Structure 1
Amino acid sequence: MFIVLLYPTSSERLSLLTCREIKSIHSELSALLSVLSILKQQTDDNKSSAKHLLVLEVPLEECNHVIKEIQIQLKPKRSLLGRAFHRSRWPLLEGQLSAILLKIERYKSLFGLAISAEQHYLSTGIEVLARNTDMKVRDLLDRVQVEFTAAEQERNRKIESGLAKSRARILKWVYRTPFDERHLEISGRRQLDTGTLLTLKPEFQSWVKENPDFKILWGNGIPGAGKTFLRSRVIDYLTNNITSRLPANIGVAFLYFDYKGRAEQSPPLILCSLIHQLASQLSLIPAPLESLYNDLSQKNKSLSSEPTPAYKLLLEILKMFKRVYFVFDALDECEEETQRRNLIPMFHGLASSGASVFITSRSYPLDINESFSASTGAVSITLAAQEEDLRIYIEQKINGNTHARRLISPTIKDNIIQKLVDCAKGMFLLVHFFIEDICKRTTVNEIKRSLQDLDSTLAEEDSLLGIYQRVMDDIKNEHESRRKLALKSLSWAVKAITPLSVHEFCQAVSIKEHLQDIGPGDTPDISMILERHSGRFVL
C-alpha cells in the first residue's frame, strides 16, 4: 500500500490566497450592492425632492448589473474539477476584474459627487428653511406682541375710561355748576396787561413766594376800582406763572362772589366748589372723597348737606398739595349774617392749615375790616386802578373801535388819555364809562365837547353821577320804542332778584300791560338790547 503525501505547491498557496481575496471582494460587492439598492430606493421614493440623485438612476442600474455579473464570476466552485478549472482561468479573470473594479470605482466617484451635491442642496435648503422658519417665528412673535400690546392698551383704555367716568360722576356729585365761567368771561374783557403792577407789589410777592411771610392778603378798594379785573389777573398769574415756576403739585382755587347769586353761594356750596376745583387738579380722586361719596350717595345725600364732613374733607385734600392758593373776590357782596359769619372763620382756618388766601372787598364793611386787620396776622393792600393800567386800557379800547380809531388823532388820543386818568382818581369803572361814551361820538367836535365836560376836580360820587346822567341822557335821546326797550332792560338788569337767562330776560322786557301771552314775535333779539346798552351790558 502506498501512501502519497501531497503538499501544496507555491502556485497552489497563491491560488488559495487569491480565493480568500475573491471572497472578500465578493463580500464587499454584496455590501456595495445593498447600499446601491438603498440609494436607488431612496431615489425612487423621493424623485420630487432628491433632484441631484435623479441623474444616478441609469448609472445605478448599470452598476447594479455589473456587480451582479462579477459576483457570479467570483462565486467559488465547490467541485475539485471546478476549482482546478477556476484556478486555471484566474490570470484571465484577474485582468477582467481590474477593469470591472476600476469601472465600479468610477461609479462610486459619480455616486459620491451626486450625494455630495444632494447633501449641499439639502443643507442649503435646510438653512433657507431655518431662516424662513425663524422669520416666520419672529413675525408670529411680532404679531403676538402687537396683538398683546393692543389688548393691553384696550384693557388700560377701558380701565381709564371706567376711572374717568367714575371720576366725572364723583366730581359732578360734589359740585355741578362750572366754576370758571365767570373767570373766563372777566379775563376775556380784561385788557392784556391790566393788573401787572399789582403782581409786582412787595406785599403780593411776599404772599406768593414759596415760603410766604404771611398767609392772608386782603386787597381792598373803593367801588369801581376794578378789583374784579385785578383779581382775575391774580388768578391768571397764579395758574400760569406760579404753578410752572414753583415745584410741582401746586393747587389754585377761586370764587367770584355776587350779591345776585347769594342763593348759589351759601357756605356749604362754596366748600363743595373748592373741593371740586382742587380734586380736579389731582390725577386720582382722593380716597377720602371717594369714601365719603360712597357713604353719602347710598343715602341719597349731597355733599353740601353735610358741611362739617365737607370742611374736614377740604382740609384733607389740602395735605395732598405742596402749596394751595385760594382767591376770593368781592367778599362784601356776601350777606353778613348768613354768609360772611361762616366764611370768614373758614378763610382763617384754611390759612391756619397752610393755604395762602387772597381776598378782595370794599374797605368799609366793619366785620371784614376787623377780621383782616393787622392784629389777625393778615396783610392789607390797597387796590386801585393804576395810571399805567388806565392808559393801556384807554388806548386799547380806542384802537379796538374802528370808528373811533379813524376819528381820533394821536394828539386827541393823548388828550383823552390824560383827561380820563386825571378824573378817574383810581376808579376803573369811571374810565370805562367815559371811554365807552367817547367811542360812540360820531364827529371829532363831539369828542372834543365831551372832553370839555370832564372835570377832574369833581368829587368821586359826583363823577359817577355825571356818568350815569350821561347814560340816561343817551337813552332818552333814542327813538321811543328803543328808549322804552333800553329803560325796561336796564330796570330788569338792576332789580331782578335772581340771575336771568337770555331767554328769560328777553321775555321779561317784553311784558306789557294787558298782554296775556308773549309769543316769538313779541320778544326782541338780545343783540338789539346789547346794542342799546353798548358797553353797559355784558352777555
Structure 2
Amino acid sequence: MDGLSGAASVIAVVDISAKIVSLCFQYSTAVKDAKDDIERVQRKVGDITHVLEKIKQLLDGQDKARLSTTQGLFSSLEQCREELKSLEAKLDPGKARKTISRFGFHALKWPFTSKQVDKIVLNLERYEQTFSSALQVDQIVAIFSIDQKLDLAKLPVAIGASFNSHNEEHNARCLPNTRTELLDEITTWANNKDGKSIFWLSGMAGTGKSTIARTVAQSFASRGQLGASFFFKKGEGERGNASRFFTTIATDLAACELGMLVGIKKALDEDSAISQRALKHQFEKLILQPLLGIQQARSQVSARVVVIDALDECEQEADIRAILKLLAQTKDIRPVPLRIVVTSRPELHIRFGSKEMSNGTYQDLVLHEVLRSTIEHDIRLFLEHELGIIRKERMLASDWPAQQHILALVELAVPLFIYAATVCRY
C-alpha cells in the first residue's frame, strides 16, 4: 500500500465513520430507550476516526516511505470499511429514510439489541487496537528518522535516584512473609481501575518507609508495571532537591512508554532548555502532554506505577507543594493511567490536606498505626533472619540467641524497624 492509496483508504473509512456518527446522533434524538447503546456505538466509531486522522497525518508527511507498519494496514482498513458499510446500511436503509421523511425522527427504531451492540463494539475495538498499535510504532519510526533523532540525554537525570541504582543496591528490601498485608494493599490499589491516583505511605523515622518503597518498586518492575522511581535523600545533591525530579521521571517513563517520545521530542524541539524551566512547565510538557498523546487501546493497558520515596527530604518546601499539586493532575490521565506511591514522614499531612489534594485524589496508610501484633510479627521475623546470619558467620551455638531474648528485643523495637536493624548491625 503506497502513501497515496493508504491515505485514500483512510479517508474512505473516515467518511463512512462520519456518516455513522451523524446517524447515531439522529437516533439519540429520536430513540430514548437505547440511549446507552447508541452512545457506545457513536463513541467507538469516533475513537477509530480519531486514530485514523492521526495515521493520515503520518502518511501525508515526509517519512511516509519509512512507515512500514501503517503501510501494511490495507487489509485491516478494507475489512473495517466493509464492517462500517454494513453498520451504516442497518442504521440508514432506504426504508428508514422514507420513515424519517413521512413521520419524522420519532418513528425511528434502534435496530440492535444490547448484545448485538456488545459484538459491534468489540469488533470495532479490535480495529481500533490494530490501528493504534500501528500508529504508535510508526510514530517512533518517524521520530528516529536519520535527520530527526530524539536525544533523551538532553534531559538531565538525578544520578542514584532510581530504586535499582548502584546507590540503592545494598539497601534493604522487605523479607519474605513480612509487610504482606501492606504490600497486598498497594498491589490491589494499583490495579484497581477506579482507585485513587496516589497512595501516601507515611510513618515516623525508622518505621521502614524506604525499605517498603524499594520492595514496592522492585515488585512492580518484576511485573513490567513500574514506570519510574525517585528516592529523595537530603544532602545528596540532585537527590536532595527537585531540579531533576520531573526530567528523571519523564526519562524513566519514556523508556517503557515509547509513545511518550512523540510529545517529548516536540517539547525539546520547542525549548531545548526545558529542564531549566519551572516545575509546572516541565511536568506539563514532559509528562502530562506526552502521556495524554499516546495512542493505545485502553482495554489493554495496566497502570504505570511511579514510586517516590522520602518526598519530605526535598530541600525546598515550595517545591514539595508544587510537586504534590502537579501529581494531583495525574488522576485524569488516559489511556495510560498512573498510580503514584509517595512515602514521607507524617508532617507532610499539611500539604496532603491542601485544596489540590482534598478531592479524593489519594488514599493513605500510617505505618506506626498498623496493628501492633502485625509489627511485632514482622520485626520478630527480621531479627530471627539477621541474627541467624550472625550465628552462622560467627559459628555460635545453634540455640543462640535464646527465644526470650529475641522477644525482648521485639518489645524494645516496636514500631521502629531501624532499632532492630541497628541492634543486628552493632
CA distance in 1, matches of 2:359, 2:277: 34
Residue number in structure 2 paired with 1:225: 207
Post-superposition CA distance 1:189-215 (Å, at most 9, x none): 325625853565664244122424322
Displacement after TM superposition at 1:292 (Å): 2.4
Query: Which amino acid letter does the alignment assign opposite residue 216 of structure 1?
Result: I
Residue number in structure 2 paired with 1:351: 331
**Do 2:376 and 2:410's aligned partners in 1 also have CA atoms closer than 8 Å?**
yes
How large is the RMSD of aligned CA atoms in angstroms?
3.6
Alpha carbons of structure 1 residues 197 and 182: separation in structure 2 relative to 1, 3 Å: closer
| TM-score, scaled to structure 2 | 0.54
Aligned length: 268
Residue number in structure 2 paired with 1:25: none
Residue number in structure 1 paired with 2:197: 215
Q: Percent identity?
A: 18
Which structure: greater helix fraction?
A: 1
Alpha carbons of structure 1 residues 377 and 275: separation in structure 2 relative to 1, 3 Å: closer
**Do 1:220 and 1:363's aligned partners in 2 also have CA atoms closer than 8 Å?**
yes
CA distance in 1, matches of 2:149, 2:396: 53
Residue number in structure 2 paired with 1:290: 265
1:311 counterpart = 2:292: no
| 1:190-269 alignment, distance < 5 Å | 190-191=172-173, 193=175, 196-198=178-180, 200=182, 203-241=185-223, 243=224, 250-261=225-236, 266-269=241-244
Structure 2, unmatched stretches of 5+, are 1-139, 369-373
**Do 2:242 and 2:314's aligned partners in 1 also have CA atoms closer than 8 Å?**
no
**Do 1:195 and 1:233's aligned partners in 2 also have CA atoms closer than 8 Å?**
no
Q: Which has the larger radius of gyration?
A: 1
**Do 2:150 and 2:265's aligned partners in 1 also have CA atoms closer than 8 Å?**
no
CA distance in 1, matches of 2:308, 2:147: 29
CA distance in 1, matches of 2:345, 2:221: 25
1:389 counterpart = 2:378: yes
Displacement after TM superposition at 1:417 (Å): 2.6
> Which has the larger displacement, 347-356 or 316-325?
316-325
1:171 counterpart = 2:152: yes
Displacement after TM superposition at 1:435 (Å): 1.4
CA distance in 1, matches of 2:329, 2:283: 10
Post-superposition CA distance 1:297-318 (Å, at most 9, x none): 3xxx253336444222311232
Residue number in structure 2 paired with 1:334: 314
**Do 2:307 and 2:340's aligned partners in 1 also have CA atoms closer than 8 Å?**
yes
CA distance in 2, matches of 1:369, 1:266: 19
CA distance in 2, matches of 1:186, 1:286: 28
Alpha carbons of structure 1 residues 186 and 213: separation in structure 2 relative to 1, 3 Å: same
| 1:412-451 alignment, distance < 5 Å | 412-437=401-426
> Which has the larger displacement, 199-208 or 281-290?
199-208
Displacement after TM superposition at 1:168 (Å): 9.1
Query: Which amino acid letter does the alignment assign opposite residue 257 of structure 1?
Result: F
**Do 1:217 and 1:357's aligned partners in 2 also have CA atoms closer than 8 Å?**
yes
CA distance in 2, matches of 1:186, 1:254: 12
Alpha carbons of structure 1 residues 411 and 178: separation in structure 2 relative to 1, 3 Å: closer
Of 351, 370, 383 in structure 1, the residue corresponding to residue 353 of structure 2 is 370
Residue number in structure 1 paired with 2:85: none
Displacement after TM superposition at 1:275 (Å): 0.7
- Secondary structure of the 2:410 match is helix
CA distance in 2, matches of 1:393, 1:366: 29
Post-superposition CA distance 1:418-458 (Å, at most 9, x none): 22211111101111111122xxxxxxxxxxxxxxxxxxxxx
CA distance in 1, matches of 2:145, 2:367: 41
**Do 2:231 and 2:308's aligned partners in 1 also have CA atoms closer than 8 Å?**
yes
- Secondary structure of the 1:214 match is coil
Displacement after TM superposition at 1:406 (Å): 1.5
Displacement after TM superposition at 1:277 (Å): 0.6
> Which has the larger displacement, 164-173 or 322-331?
164-173
**Do 2:200 and 2:365's aligned partners in 1 also have CA atoms closer than 8 Å?**
yes
Query: Which amino acid letter does the alignment assign opposite residue 172 of structure 2?
Result: R
| TM-score, scaled to structure 1 | 0.43
Of 341, 363, 370 in structure 2, the residue corresponding to residue 379 of structure 1 is 363
Post-superposition CA distance 1:205-226 (Å, at most 9, x none): 4412242432221111111011
Displacement after TM superposition at 1:284 (Å): 6.4
- Secondary structure of the 1:344 match is helix
Alpha carbons of structure 1 residues 263 and 274: separation in structure 2 relative to 1, 3 Å: closer
CA distance in 1, matches of 2:341, 2:148: 29
Structure 1, unmatched stretches of 5+, are 1-158, 244-249, 438-539
